[in-house]
Structure 1
C-alpha cells in the first residue's frame, strides 16, 4: 500500500476536506504493516473501497421561524460503511458542519463501532443549523423539515441515527416523532430517545462514563488509579458532564471546564453541587462558562484561552475536533501530564499526537476512548428489539465491559517491542481487521 499515492488521489478528488483527509491519513499509517502482510486486502482493493463512503445524501431544509421568515439550511447524511451492521452514527447540528467534518466523523465511526464488537456500521449526518437561541417551536419545525428529507433512507435495520453536538433529547424527540408519522411505524430507529419512549438509562452520560472507564484501564496497566489525580476537561456539555461525574466517583479531581469564551480553573475540583450547577448552566441554552465563577468565586475564569496550560495528571479533551494542538501538547508535557485521553472525536492534532508518542505518554484516541456513547446506543437498540429495559446497573456494567474489551484489543495490536502501548495503532488495526474481513466475506459490492 502506498499511503502517499492514496492520499494524493483523495486530495485531488476531495480538495480542501482537511478533517476527512487527516482522519484517513492517521488510519492508513497505522495499518500499513498489517495491510501489507495480508495480500488478500490488496487484491480486493479494501482500502480504496473503505476510504470512500457508500453514499452521501445532501438536501435543502426549508423551515419557518417564529417571525414568519423562511429559513434555509443544508443537510447531509453520510452512510460510510455497513459491512458489519446497519449504518450507525449521530446527527450534528452546528454552524461548522460541512461534508469534510461529516465524512471524517463517519469514517471514524466505522472503526469505533467495530471496536465495540456490536453489529453496527458507520455513518454521520447533520446540518449547519444552529439550535442556540432558537425557540422550541423553531427547533421542532426545523427537525420536522430535516426528517422529511431523511426518513426514506433510515430504519432499524438500515440506518440508525443518534444525537451529537446540538442534537439532544429534545431534537431527537422531534425528529423521531416526524419519522414515526411518515413511516407509520414505531421502531427503535433513533438512539438517545427519551426514557419514557424507548431510551436507555445512562445514555446521556455514556460517552463520558465510557472514556473514564477506558482511562481506568490505562491507569491499571501502570498499576495506577484515579485516586488523587487531577484532571483537565474541555467543554461542558453531556460528554464533559459524564467525565466529571465518573472521574469524581472514582476518586479523581476535575479542575477545568471550558466554553468558547474561555475556561474555568477550579483547584478544589468539581463536586455534586458544582456538577448540578453546570447542568442548569448548559440548559440555559448558552455556551459561555464564565457565570460559574459568580456562583463559585473560589474558581478562576481565564478568558479566550483553552485549559491545557493548567498542570494536571490527566488531560481529557471533550469538546470538538483538533482542540488540542502541538503547542498545547508541549505545555502539557512540560507541566508533567501523565495520560492524555481524547474524549472528543479526533480532539488532538497530528502534531500533538506525535509529541505524546515521542515522549512515550499513554495517549488514547477518540475512536477507542469515546466509544461508550455508541456502545450504549447499541445496547439501546438491543433493548428496543427485545422490548425490554435494563436497569442502570445492568447498562453500566455492560458499558464497563465494552470499554474493557476495547482496551484489551488496543493493547493486543498496539503494544510495541519496548512495552509501550500505541493505542492509536492498536485501535486502528483492531477496527480495520474486523471491517476488512467482513468486506472480504461479502464480496465486491
Structure 2
C-alpha cells in the first residue's frame, strides 16, 4: 500500500548496508561485490542507482497520483517494482562472480569477452528495466495532467533512465562507466530542486502561519494592524528555480562532454550562483530558522557549495573534484532524501512531523559526513581517516532513520485516514495538494 512504504524502508536500510560494506572495505580491506570496473564503480553505482533511485521511486509512486489527482498505484504494481529493484541489486552484486563462472566454462580470449557480457547482461537488463518501468508508469499521468505543472519529474526520470542505460551499455562494451554516474548525479540534483520546491511550499508556509499566529493574534488586533504587520508568503518562484535547473543541467552536459575543461569550471560556478540565487526565495525572516524549514534550506546550501567546489577544481584550484562531488552526493542528495523520508514519509503514513531530537542528530550527521568527505579531497588532509569518519556519520544518520521511521512505514495508519492520504489532524480543514 503506497509506493513510499516499501521503498522508503529499502532506502534507509540500503543506505546503512552499502556504507557499512564500503567502510569495511576502506578500513579493513573487506571484500565488496566484484563488478566490472572495481570497488569504486560498485560503490558509486549502488549509492546513485540503488539507494538514490529507490528514494526517487518511493517519492514519485506516491506523489505523482497526488499531484495529478489520479488513483494511487495498486499494491500489485508496487510489489512488482520492489521485486524488480531487489532483483537489479542482486544481479549487479553477482555480476562479477557470474562472469568468472562463465569464463571458466568458455575459456580463451573470445570466451573471456563473452563471459563478461554474460555476467553483466542480467544486471544491465534489470537495472535499465527498473528505470524505464518507473518512467513508463508515471509518464502518462504527468503528460495527461491538464495543467502539466509536473513535467519536471517526467524529464528528470527520462534523463535518469538514460544515465542508467548509458552506465550499463558502457560496461557491456568494456568501458569505464563512471561518467554516467556523474551524469546521474546531475540529474538527481535537478530532481532535488524540482521535488524540494513542492515540499518547501508547504513547510515554509506552515512556518510562516505559525509565526503569524504568534505575532498577530486576530482577537487582539484590528484588521488594519494585522495588514500592517502581515508576514510575506513563501513562493518557490519558477524563474529562479528554472534558472537553477538549467544551470545544473548545462554543467552536467559539459562535465560529460568536456571533463576537466575550464569551460566546465565556469559552468560549475554558474550553477553555484544560480542555486545561491534560488536561496533568496527563502529569506522571509524568523520562520526560516524553524526546524523543518532550515532542514530544507541546508539542502540548497550543500547543493550550491558542491558546484562551487567543482567549478574551482576544474579551474585549477588545489582540490580534488571529488570534494564537490561528495558535497552533492552525500550532502545535497543524502540530506534531501532524509527530509523526504521524514516529511513526506511520515505525513503520508498518517503521522504528524516528528519533533524528537533524533531528526536533528541525523541531519547534522549527514551534513558532517558531507563536509568530512569533501575535506578529504583537500591538500594535506588525512584523507583515509576523514573518509572513514564520513562513512560512520552517514551510517549513524540512516540507522536512526531506519529505526525511527521503518516501523511506521510497515504499520497501519493510526490517524483514521486511508490509503496514501496525508496526515489529517482532527478538526483541521482539509488541504488541497500543493
Asked if Structure 1 and Structure 2 have the same fold, meaning a TM-score greater than 0.5 normalized by the shorter chain, the answer is no
Task: Give the alignment's TM-score, normalised by structure 2.
Answer: 0.30
Name which one, 1 or 2, has greater alpha-carbon Rg: 2
Task: Give the alignment's TM-score, normalised by structure 1.
Answer: 0.30
